[in-house]
Structure 1
Amino acid sequence: MRLHKNLAIYLGVTWSLLFAVMSFYWAAGGMIGVESLGGEIYKKAMERDPAFISVVWVTGVVKLGGAILLLLLLKTSINKKIRKMLSLFCIVAGVFMILYGLGNFTTISLAGLNVLHFDMSAYAIKWRLIIWEPFWMIGGILYVLAGRRGYQFIQNSF
């Protein structure tokens, strides 16, 4: 069975929308899953710190922007230079997401081994290592693959 050539783009859009919905849910006051984030994030969410909540709303909007960026890669009538810039932006954003998730995974793992000290519960450490940091890395991989697909589209249009 041959996978659809734009699968990484569709999965990246789905990842971005899911991530945006989580941010909007938490910004609106939802608390399911917040404890799994741990540390200062959990404390500020529990306090409903207005500055922090504003940041959570903004991150939701940025995540929606990521979904729009990926959707633009599906548009066939886009100028080649713009498609190239969009593709490059997706790849760079994806690399940063992978590095962010990997960096957090490493430091949180070290905290879990008591090599580093973080103000984070064992519960949060577990869920950050099982869900959140791999989620960032998966999203990054999807953005890199989607960006590569954008470049392939340019090459195949000649």
Structure 2
Amino acid sequence: MFGASFGMCISLLCTQFFYRYLAVCRPNLLVNFEGFKLSLIFIPPFLLSVTWFLFCLFGLQISFEKRKVLEVSLRKNYNEDSKSLTFVGGLYWQTDENGVTHWNVSDCIGTTGLCVLMSICCLTILFCGGRTYKKMNDVGGTMSDRTKELNRQLFITLSLQV
């Protein structure tokens, strides 16, 4: 659930940048998000959060081997028992009962999936933020000083949340 919560936070932040991009750069498209339709903008963050949860649950689930690998480190650094903690982590190589080392495919898929989701969010924020910033600078002469300052403060607030 922690992973899903993080996925929801980053995707909602991404949604804020997207909506701000629409409001500043593509105001003619805002008509598509009036009234009840505005709630549709929250479907992608919800789906991303569910996907994040599934990657954590099935791709990076806790195993005996992961607990064993972390046992000494957790005991030494935090005085915690790996058997009593909940965590998400990747173990990319596993040793089977014959001593043969092989890829742990589910952990590799889980990590790759989370990296792709995070990349999508970061690229969306960079794209929308960059375009919004550029548009605000380009039309700065046509806005009142108060509107420019409000837009600047809102942009800084959104950027600091990242």
The verdict on a shared fold, with TM-score over 0.5 as the criterion, is no
Q: TM-score, normalised by structure 1?
A: 0.40
Q: TM-score, normalised by structure 2?
A: 0.39
Structure number with greater CO (CA < 8 Å, separation at least 6) is 1
Q: From the CA coordinates, give the structure whose radius of gyration is larger.
A: 2
